Copies of this chain bind each other. A is one copy, B any other.
């Protein structure tokens, strides 16, 4: 009997112990729960965003304000007692916005609230006058007869609606990113788009665009959604609409910005990294509170709170340079650290505002899914559900899975994110401190439990 009873007892004890043995130990789990409750009472995340938006404000890559942002980040990491603080140079374009204005000249004169798209060339000093050629989307513009476009200012009225996941952004944004090139190839002299935004307001949304190689660079701006609605009501009245658009922009020589990095050194595996981060740069009209001051506050505060629990692996917080220019700092980070990327055991970026997180996704080696489930269980009291294993990881981090780096996403409620995105209205007052705290708690839990994993954290399986 003993000989049969003993193996059963061993089996039972293994099964009972499995969840903690397989993922994190009991003490780590208790720490994670304590960390979560601490974070829910901590004002640190908000204080960090306030400090960034008040003491630096807008910080468009390449500008003097961007340099102040870099200095701010180094100082903030130092003040908070990070073990290691350093920066990594990133070559960035340097473009600055001057004044912008537009008017309908006929049939019914009135001003339009407009902003230049990022990297747009200037109009002539007295403005660019032209009749509008109307399109609902870039797709429709693509099919247009050049005769109907040549010599005109193309107007694209692509609309976007509020959505928890911000779903329509990726489809609507084409007008902004490639509209000017498509319009130019058909002979247009300028581009105006309806702002890529979900608000009803006079706040135009700027954003990145790029001229195709060899294309004649035409000035490109966005009018506010309120102006877009007015313009479409005017169009219904049946007469040709002539506008004057004045955009004043300057393109300088490329310059150097920096990814700023702060680390809490791991107590057991200092050479294994849990990378969390956000981007430090912002557009130039708001103070970049939601995009991405919130992400800075959330991830820096999470790491700082983790420190007292002496994580086994190193927590590396990367504040990326020039995300808005097209993941410029992230690409530099990936390339400069090419030989060391295997040391990054899990990575995630917070870059979707400051609303509550509702879902936790991962993209990890299947062998590490039990750890993800343990993390999800610990996130549950924050009203966060486990999603799938197809996470993108956040814009700057999204290029790492191709190199085998596992990533995770803590998905925020994005319902009103595109009301403020890339506008002057992206300011601190849009952040609800309680929701920000929930974010800090979630990021602290994920980063800490990953740092404490008893499982080996494996690279992604190549597809």
Q: Which residues of A contact B (CB under 8 A)?
A: 50, 53-58, 65, 68, 99, 108-111, 113, 200-203, 225-227, 229-230, 233-234, 237, 286-287, 423-425, 427-430
Contact = CB atoms under 8 A, between A and B. Distances in A.
Given A53-B230, A56-B108, A202 B425 contact: yes
Given A65-B109, A110-B65, A230 B55 contact: no
Contact of A225 (B110, B225, B229, B429): B429
Contacts of A229: 427-429
A233 B287 CA distance: 14
Given A202-B286, A237-B54, A429 B111 contact: no
Contacts of A109: 57, 65, 68
Shortest beta-carbon contacts, A-B, top 9: A57-B110, A226-B427, A200-B429, A202-B424, A54-B233, A55-B108, A202-B425, A54-B234, A226-B429
Contacts of A113: 424
Contacts of A68: 109
Given A99-B99, A225-B429, A429-B225, A108 B230 contact: no
Contacts of A202: 203, 286, 423-425, 427
Given A54-B233, A55-B234, 4 more contacts: A57-B108, A65-B109, A110-B287, A230-B427
Nearest to A286: B202
29 contacts: A54-B230, A54-B233, A55-B108, A55-B237, A56-B108, A56-B110, A57-B109, A57-B110, A57-B111, A58-B110, A65-B110, A68-B109, A110-B287, A113-B424, A200-B429, A200-B430, A201-B201, A201-B203, A202-B286, A202-B424, A202-B425, A202-B427, A226-B425, A226-B428, A226-B429, A229-B427, A229-B429, A230-B427, A230-B428
A302 B414 CA distance: 42
Contacts of A110: 56-58, 65, 287
A378 B287 CA distance: 52
A255 to B, nearest CB: 18
